Amino acid sequence: MRRPIISGNWKMYKDINEAIELANAVKRGVFDVENVEIVICPSFTNLSELGEMFVGSNVSVGGQNCYWEKEGAYTGEISVPMLKSVGCSYVIVGHSERRKYFGETDETVNRKIAAVLEEELVPIMCVGETLEEREAGKTLEVVKDQVVGGLRNFQETQLETLVIAYEPVWAIGTGKTATPGQAQEVHAMIRSLMAECFSPAFADAVRILYGGSVKPDNVGELMAERDIDGGLIGGASLKAEGFVDMVKTTSQLYAEKKG
């Protein structure tokens, strides 16, 4: 069975003091959860401190973005070795806000994934359609193109740790969640695409997270879907109680599935 991931994407929220407070509360709240991979992706300025705080705990930290070169004259950019050196084990790549505001394309996503894998960190590749694309009936086509473009030229053996996050753009930060059925449809398509591009075994093992207005009161129904293996959570990850709650709901669901 695929091990679920609950990941908080703190976006551009929390200064260092607020971040420490929130991280401490999360750490206390989830300390006894064993069957869920818990990841916090704070802003770059908070990574080093949080990386240290979570050493030896069941919480990992991740970056929200990276650059693909290891070092160089790239003012303002952060490399994957730098992320690794402050304790990161995951990196979000291709988040829709990066695609929308910062010119991220499938090609840059592809290069960043290569850089993340080279340092043996786990890439969380985000894909998702806009409202316009959904209304035009293009959802599956758009998501398929993003997945194929992001993973171009990789061999299955290189992608063993890959995590995909399906995040419909119209559901991010809007309070409008995809229904479990809408999300499941896209997750199932991505999984069968992975079987086609790589192998059925790879498709069966790859974890596909859902993101977009996940909150404590809808996390259960989403995680109950067959092809949803966790959540990438923005707004609702900024409150410790709610985040802990979502980790525990997921943990319980998976314990029951196993049992």
Runs of H (alpha helix) within 174-239: 180-197, 200-205, 219-223
Kindly state the smallest distance separating residue 71's Cβ from ligand PGA, in Å: 28
User: Measured between alpha carbons, how far is 116 from 93 in angstroms, rounded to an integer?
Assistant: 9
Beta bridge partners of 165: 126, 209
- Given the rule CB under 6 A, which residues bind ligand PGA? 9, 167, 172-173, 211-214, 232-236
Cβ-closest residue to ligand PGA?
Answer: 234
Q: With respect to ligand PGA, which residue has the nearer C-beta, 186 or 233?
A: 233
Q: With respect to ligand PGA, which residue has the nearer C-beta, 79 or 237?
A: 237
Q: What residues contact residue 163 under an 8 Å CB cut-off, 6+ apart?
A: 5, 90, 122, 123, 124, 125, 206, 207, 208, 209
Q: With respect to ligand PGA, which residue has the nearer C-beta, 8 or 198?
A: 8
**Are the beta carbons of 184 and 140 closer than 8 angstroms?**
no
The token pair at 18 is 């607020």
The region, left, alpha or beta by phi > 0 then psi within -120 to 50, assigned to residue 58 is: alpha
Q: Among 49, 104, 119, 167, which one carries the catalytic annotation?
A: 167
Kindly state the smallest distance separating residue 243's Cβ from ligand PGA, in Å: 11
User: Measured between alpha carbons, how far is 256 from 181 in angstroms, rounded to an integer?
Assistant: 21
Kindly state the smallest distance separating residue 95's Cβ from ligand PGA, in Å: 6
Q: Among 95, 119, 133, 187, which one carries the catalytic annotation?
A: 95
Kindly state the smallest distance separating residue 16's Cβ from ligand PGA, in Å: 22
Q: With respect to ligand PGA, which residue has the nearer C-beta, 113 or 214?
A: 214
Give the closest residue to 183 by CA, choosing from 203, 164, 167, 161: 167
Pairing of strands 207-211, 163-166: parallel
Kindly state the smallest distance separating residue 215's Cβ from ligand PGA, in Å: 8
Beta bridge partners of 7: 39, 232
95 in active site: yes
Q: With respect to ligand PGA, which residue has the nearer C-beta, 162 or 232?
A: 232
User: Measured between alpha carbons, how far is 14 from 21 in angstroms, rounded to an integer?
Assistant: 10
- Would you please indicate which residues are annotated as catalytic (active-site) residues? 95, 167
